[in-house]
Structure 1
Amino acid sequence: MAKRTVLVTGGAGFIGSHIVDKLIARGDKVIIVDNLSTGRLEYLNPLAKFYKLDIREDLSEIFKKYNIDYVIHQAAQIDVQQSIKDPSFDGDVNIIGTTNLLEHCCKYNIKKIIYASTAAVYGQPKYLGVDEEHPINPISYYGISKHTPEHYIKVFSQLYGLNYTILRYSNVYGIRQGFTSEGGVISIFIDKFLSGERPIIYGDGKQTRDFIYVDDIVRANIIALEKGDNEAINISCNHQTSLNQLIMMMKSILAVDLNPIYKSAKLGDIKYNYLSNKKAKEVLGWTPNYGLSEGLEEIFAYYQSLYQAKVEIAVSRK
């Protein structure tokens, strides 16, 4: 396969950094654009070219210099609660930032853009599993700001021939996920357990989510460089797990006996949800390699090492 030049926005972040690592392992040339608002320097692959820039800034010099073939767009404001507190900022980053990127893609004739969308675009499910034909009815500003660029992408495609694939992720988890992101419930629970604290569940814990391991997300993005042209596709496990079931699995794997604290459900929280991945199988030839138990087993050692490092730093400062 010919060497490709790929721009990854958010390439210092949780998902983006894993995509960068995989592209470089395949022999591709990678340029990263990340403003480090949530990305971390230690996640940067040293073989990638890194630019500390915001996606709302002028990116012309990068596109001119590197003759970019593909763009994988992972950069975003991803916190639902932050979107509610500051919808203008949320829209500015996710909508204006994406349209700025699209204008550069068209001006410099890139071959394709892969856009990271989300299950949040669907809102409260009318049926399960939610497929791509499900009505779009986001119930958060975040869901709106992630779906609106899908319309822009499609019109840019119609007007300028821009090739694209939109990937709508279910609940992603894995190595390098932070402890504070609302979407990172698994990493937050692990952090609590390793700290000897009881995790907090908002609601009765019967609410379900479709957890997808980051390695499977990465593989879908790599496949989408060559397949799934001009399609919107769910990337999910096609399976729902309740938060109570998740806690039980984690207690078993981590060998801890701490029960969760239950608090009032958050306003607008979706009760039951999982995404169909039938289209991903048919169009991309993609199926997830990881079930939840396999993914949890793989990331346990990583989070345990992080916790040990935190403890050692705390002790050294005393």
Structure 2
Amino acid sequence: MINLLWRSGRNLTTRIVERPGLALSAEELQALTADLRTVAALTLKNEDLAYGVLGGDVERLKNCVVTIVYQGRGKGVAPCPVAFNVLSLLDVELAGRPTQVMHLGLVMVDPSFRGRGLSATLYGLTCVLMFLAGQGRPLWVSNVSQVPAVVGMVAETFSDVFPSPRPEARRSFDHLTLARQIMGRHRAAFGVGPDAGFDEAAFVITDAYTGGSDALKKTFEQASPHRMEVYNAFCRERLNYDRGDDVIQIGRIDMAAAGRYLRKVAPPTTAMGLGGLVVIMAARMAVLPVLYWLSANRPWGVLRPWKEAN
């Protein structure tokens, strides 16, 4: 399981822990939860969230990946948590086989640190590491949000995302199957109550803020806009902010998405960007095809070492 801590910027460090409820001791888990609540208190001020890890759901910590960004971690310096993401691992079935969807989950950033590009670390980096830890198999991801900046980030970063204003976006049977299962079995993972509706044609959750996530409801003016107006218009037209609607997006993290993330966050002119792209290209051209070929008895989803004859 992933349990990493490294410098991620000037005076910043990032920690990623997979399934902390299983990987950490009781004391470590208590400290981790306290860090999450510290950021939540800075973000929500006097309001509380009543779902997930912030609502005391210990079982949720056994089926999630936690990413926390700290300021000032170092020798003799007490670290201060400034942002986090809790990515939930949802058990579903697809094509008759059990699989997992990584739900992008709850993200909070200290207001004084917003606009510093932390979302790329909180969302993309964690997903790329989980993708690589899974030996490069494409992984399904989901996102529930009414914030144009987040909706656009998901559409621009991941592959095969629906819904999206991008012209190539199409709803497949897999998209619909996964969305139905997530809405039927995993509403608690993102604080949506049983009374909320689900528009299967538009992939919109109606009256979504009824299951413990009330403090996250925003007006369109309060929601962070995306730099590209097409995503702002998409959310404005599709969602009823007075009622409290969310869009549910389904996509995949694959080799192409991992490459896009590295090119965006770590430009190829930097050592990190160049090294990351070399690793991605080497895996694409040599390592993964051999791995797929030798693992004939292991399911790899849509990946095959050869094209099947028509």
Q: Same fold (TM over 0.5)?
A: no
Provide the TM-score with structure 2 as the length reference: 0.31
Q: As a proportion of its length, which structure holds more strand?
A: 2
Provide the TM-score with structure 1 as the length reference: 0.30
